[in-house]
């Protein structure tokens, strides 16, 4: 009569140490099984520890990425400022309307020389302050304003004579005369005395064909019996197309 043989079915996860324990053992084999069991547990623990570290790093990376995305969405990237913004033009070029006419600055916006608020009307002179009236060396307000008004009057009617009202240190007025000679009409829309004795003027120059420019100029006039324009700055300007 045949006896059924006992068969031992091993799971895929059975280790070498377990196999040794299930068979006949000598004292040496028992010690070897214990050593193998310890070596099998250590890698498993190491693998578990590595998985924990990797999981933690992944979570941190996800949190960092989410935070960065939130900051970008909450604070849009600021556009660089226009490179056309510039300091006021000074000296003789500040008095030339042609430089503004041919410039490519974006006068329609606030880049470059910003468009000043529209204004119209006849030229008007502001009353000088008391400190200016008490200082004879500063010259009278009427004389200073009269000279500047005369300058723009000559720019309209006698451009070849505007150099007579400029101090020699401003340089040759040949180009200035040529620039104003090309203008069809000159209209002084604002003229006022500042507290320091300087003069602010707004003038519009219209060219044949309808193109025009508006200049906001800041002038200094020398005191004395023969006042002259000694310095000039173009504070702002604007172009106008025909029509």
Q: Per residue in 55-102, pLDDT tens? A: 766 666 667 666 666 655 654 444 444 434 445 689 999 999 998 887
On whether the 89-240 domain is CATH 3.30.70, my answer is: no
State how far the Cα of 21 lies from the Cα of 8, in Å rounded to an integer. Answer: 13
Give the gyration radius of the chain's Cα atoms: 44
Q: Is 234 exposed, middle or buried (0-12, 13-18, 19+ CB in 10 A)?
A: buried
State how far the Cα of 227 lies from the Cα of 197, in Å rounded to an integer. Answer: 13
Q: What are the residue ranges spanned by the domains of the chain?
A: 16-74, 89-240
Cβ–Cβ < 8 Å for 197, 74: no
String of b and e for 104-127 (b: at least 16 CB within 10 Å)? ebebeeebbbbbeeeeeeebebee
Instruction: Pick the more confident residue, 157 or 36.
Output: 157
| Tens digits of residue pLDDT in 201-243 | 999 999 999 999 999 999 999 988 899 999 999 998 988 888 7
């Amino acid at each position: 009569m045949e006896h059924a043989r006992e068969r031992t079915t091993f799971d895929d996860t059975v280790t070498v140490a377990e196999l040794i324990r299930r068979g006949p053992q000598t004292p040496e084999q028992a010690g070897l099984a214990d050593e193998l069991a310890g070596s099998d547990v250590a890698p498993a623990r190491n693998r578990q520890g590595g998985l924990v570290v990797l999981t933690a790093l992944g979570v941190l990376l996800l949190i960092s990425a989410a935070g960065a995305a939130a900051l970008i969405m909450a604070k849009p990237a600021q556009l660089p400022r226009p490179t056309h913004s510039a300091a006021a033009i000074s000296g003789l070029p500040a008095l030339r309307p042609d430089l503004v006419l041919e410039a490519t600055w974006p006068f329609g916006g606030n880049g470059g020389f910003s468009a000043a608020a529209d204004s119209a009307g006849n030229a008007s002179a502001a009353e000088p302050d008391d400190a200016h009236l008490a200082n004879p060396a500063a010259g009278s307000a009427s004389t200073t304003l009269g000279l500047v008004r005369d300058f723009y009057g000559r720019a309209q009617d006698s451009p070849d004579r505007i150099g007579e009202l400029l101090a020699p240190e401003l340089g040759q007025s040949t180009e200035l005369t040529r620039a104003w000679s090309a203008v069809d009409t000159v209209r002084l829309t604002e003229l006022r005395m500042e507290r320091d004795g300087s003069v602010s003027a707004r003038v519009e120059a219209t060219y044949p064909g309808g193109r025009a420019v508006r200049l906001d100029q800041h002038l200094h006039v020398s005191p004395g019996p023969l006042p002259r324009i000694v310095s000039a700055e173009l504070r702002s300007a604007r172009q106008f197309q025909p029509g």
